[in-house]
């Protein structure tokens, strides 16, 4: 992805969050210079990979298959710092996050407002392909049995609990608008805990055609 495109996506995302009255930490708006001045105080931010995360899964088609994430809270895989994580995400209409599961992370995905969030679910088979078995999930704590692959809609205010080894893909319902999407989970480890059904990249390759508007989590290593 070009840095100019990432910058435009973040500006659009900030406008949407403001419209939804969702506020991010003050450091979400820091310049590179401000990060450098406070670098010694921000070890937890860097170690836990808090902040902006824009991905097209290496497919170079962000509007069709991509996701805006901002990690608000997280710990480390060894259980230190925190044992929980929280993200806020923006899912566009018909913008897919492809099928994947987590081996260790349990999560609640929450429709915080905006449009309708659509899920398709499968359990993982032993060879990590898609199982045709029904999937037992909890919607706001209420048990539900969902046929494999059948679209499941989450309205604003609703949440879905996903257990480990549950393949899921999600997207915004066409005509309903973008979705402000929350995630509350055990510790998030994007480096080792994601199993995508396809051979995809979790983080994009960035073409630096202009200065960053906001730093991404992948930029911290260069401070």
| Domains of the chain: total | 1
- What CATH number does the domain containing 205 carry? 2.60.120.10
Predicted pLDDT at 207: 95
In the Cβ-directed half-sphere of 159, how many Cα atoms lie within 13 Å? 13
pTM to 2 decimal places: 0.96
Kindly state the tokens that stand for 177: 């608008």
Q: Is residue 139 part of a domain?
A: yes
Query: What mean pLDDT, rounded, does the chain reach?
Result: 97
Residue 65 lies in a domain: yes
In a domain, 199, yes or no: yes
CB-based contact 170:97 (threshold 8 Å): yes
Is the Cα torsion angle 220, 22, 101, 81 positive or negative in sign? positive
| Whole-number pLDDT of residue 36 | 96
Confidence band (pLDDT; 50, 70, 90) for 201? confident
Written as six digits, the tokens of 172 are 């915004």
Domain with 53 in it = 3-215
Q: In what order do the strands lie in the sheet with 117-123?
A: 152-154, 117-123, 166-172, 97-102, 194-196
Which residue from 85, 84, 50 is spatially nearest to 70, judged by alpha carbons?
50
192 burial class (0-12, 13-18, 19+ CB within 10 angstroms)?
exposed
Mean pLDDT computed over 120-142 = 97
Q: Determine, yes or no, domain membership for 38.
A: yes
Domain membership flag for residue 150:
yes
* CA distance linking residue 198 with residue 97, whole number of Å: 12
Q: Does residue 220 form part of some domain?
A: no
- Dihedrals phi, psi of 190, to nearest 5 degrees: -70, -20
Q: What is the DSSP string of 86-144?
A: EEEEEE-BT--EEEEEESS--EEEEEEEES-EEEEEEEB-TTSSB--S-EEEEETTEEE
Residue 188 counted as domain residue: yes
Q: Tell me whether residue 53 is in a domain.
A: yes
Give the span between the Cα atoms of 104 and 163, in whole angstroms.
Answer: 9
State the Cα–Cα distance between residues 210 and 26, nearest whole angstrom. Answer: 23
Confidence of residue 98 (pLDDT cuts 50, 70, 90): very high
Query: Who's near 46: CB < 8 A, 6+ residues apart?
Result: 220
Whole-angstrom Cα Rg for the chain? 17
Is the confidence at residue 80, as pLDDT, over 90?
A: no
Amino acid 151: pLDDT: 98
């Amino acid at each position: 992805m070009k840095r100019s495109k990432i910058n435009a996506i973040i500006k659009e995302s900030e406008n949407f969050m403001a419209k939804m009255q969702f506020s991010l930490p003050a450091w979400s708006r820091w310049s590179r210079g401000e990060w450098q001045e406070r670098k010694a105080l921000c070890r937890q931010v860097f170690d836990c990979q808090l902040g902006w995360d824009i991905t097209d899964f290496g497919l170079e088609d962000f509007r069709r298959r991509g996701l805006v994430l901002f990690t608000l809270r997280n710990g480390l895989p060894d259980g230190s710092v925190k044992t929980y994580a929280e993200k806020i995400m923006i899912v566009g209409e018909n913008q897919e996050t492809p099928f994947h599961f987590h081996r260790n992370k349990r999560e609640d995905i929450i429709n915080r407002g905006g449009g309708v969030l659509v899920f398709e679910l499968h359990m993982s088979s032993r060879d990590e392909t898609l199982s045709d078995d029904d999937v037992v999930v909890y919607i706001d704590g209420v048990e539900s049995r969902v046929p494999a692959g059948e679209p499941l809609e989450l309205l604003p205010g609703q949440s879905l609990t996903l257990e480990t080894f549950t393949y899921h893909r999600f997207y915004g319902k066409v005509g309903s608008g973008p979705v402000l999407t929350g995630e509350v989970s055990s510790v998030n480890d994007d480096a080792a805990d994601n199993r995508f059904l396809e051979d995809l990249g979790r983080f994009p390759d960035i073409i630096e055609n202009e200065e960053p508007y906001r730093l991404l989590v992948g930029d911290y290593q260069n401070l």
